[in-house]
Amino acid sequence: MSDNIKVVVKVRPLISRELEDKLFHQWRVKNNTLYQIDQNGRDCGYSFTFDKVYDQNTETTDVYNDIAKPIVEAATAGFNGTIFAYGQTSSGKTYTMTGTKESPGIIPLAVINLFDIIKNIPDRDFLVSISYVEIYNETLIDLLNTERKNIKIHDTLQGVKVDATVKVTTSPEEVLQFMQEGQANRQTGSTNMNEESSRSHSIFQIKIESREHIEGEEVGCLNVSHLNLVDLAGSERSGQTGATGIRFKEGTHINKSLSSLALVIMQLSEGQNKHVNYRDSKLTRILQNSLGGNAKTSIICAITPAALEETISTLQFANRAKAIRNNPEVNVVATDTKMIESLTKQLSSLKTELENKKNVEQDNHKLQKHISVLQRFLSGFGQQTSVDIMNGNRRKNQQMRRATISTPHLIQDEPMPNAPRFCTPSLKYK
């Protein structure tokens, strides 16, 4: 099954800093199209059209219902899913993904929705576990155990795996508590653009395992899916953010990893069968399965209405991303019992095939012996006939004598084989 990445654009309202600087809207939203406008509100320059463009009055719940809810529902059925926010610094990505108590973001809405769906599927048993990591200066940090500063990434048969702390959960409240603990450990800092700027990419992963519920029986297969909820740090310019020292170094790493992401998006959108640079950064390596792989993916591109060049860059990224096609499939994993049963059947089948092959080899060996006997007999008969022909002229004037040809004695322990019977099916013509 092929599935395009879903991409939407969300425009945030002007913030207090922009109002104080007397900045004006440079973009207008109409019929899911963004139009560049001048200071007088007239259309000029660029325009971009998407399936969904949300203006400054849109609630996060509307965005969730349109683009995130279908992926959460698919995750409970065994499909991998990824939702992430992309955009420049201070464009509203963290607010969209995390939200506030008054206005929950995509992550808490997804958690609550997930457990509601599970509650309404009584014929399956579910196991939900979570992990939470951040990529800070290209170092992978475990947000649920900050003592683990540089955790590893492994390639497995199911895809890329992060060696992070895993917490098994039983309720949405428990999941949200772990999320808050992780957020408290995340790297943030103040810049001229944002008082609490994310200085890292965060990946909140929910693993969902389920199997059919049958009383008194052990089910052989599990559905196993991963739901990645990603809050990316925003691209930034040091001239605008005023970043120096540590903040400047953080910004450099952020921009570099986002450039790697943009390169991967461009390579995939071109649709050419060539190498894709997933390993250029930890971010693209972790998201490898979500970009052109086995996952359903949605991207929320957050933009600032008062910005021009940065917004154009984000919208061009969005245009390329919506051309990427993924191949999501239900992830079915056999349990140990089912695997043993399957391997036992396979072993029995191979043994039967081997015995049949031995029988065929024995029959072939006997047939070869019979053929050898016949060849010797025919060879002797042919030599006798040739001698008679050569002496034919000498016998012209002689009285014909009765010649007796003795039949060669066949080996008794090797009886003559019965002539094989061939069965030709009757042909019917119309």
Annotated binding site for ATP: 87-94
Q: How far apart are CA 303 and CA 27, in angstroms?
A: 10
- Output the DSSP codes for 279-347: GGSHHHHHTGGGSSSSSEEEEEEEE-TT-SHHHHHHHHHHHHHTT-EE-----EEE-HHHHHHHHHHHH
CB 144 within 8 A of CB 168: no
- Beta-bridge mates of residue 28: 35
Please enumerate, by residue number, every residue annotated as part of a binding site.
87-94
The helix/strand/coil state of 15 is coil
Q: How far apart are CA 73 and CA 415, in angstroms?
A: 73
Question: Residues, the chain, total?
Answer: 430
Smallest CA-to-CA distance from 58 within 95, 26, 24, 89 is with 95
Other CB atoms within 10 A of residue 283 CB: 25
Place of tokens 């609490």: 196
Smallest CA-to-CA distance from 133 within 82, 187, 83 is with 187
CB 209 within 8 A of CB 222: yes
- DSSP annotation of 99: B
Q: How far apart are CA 275 and CA 262, in angstroms?
A: 15
CB 92 within 8 A of CB 198: no
Smallest CA-to-CA distance from 332 within 2, 31, 70, 79 is with 79
Place of tokens 């808490």: 108
Pairing of strands 139-142, 43-49: unpaired
The helix/strand/coil state of 422 is coil
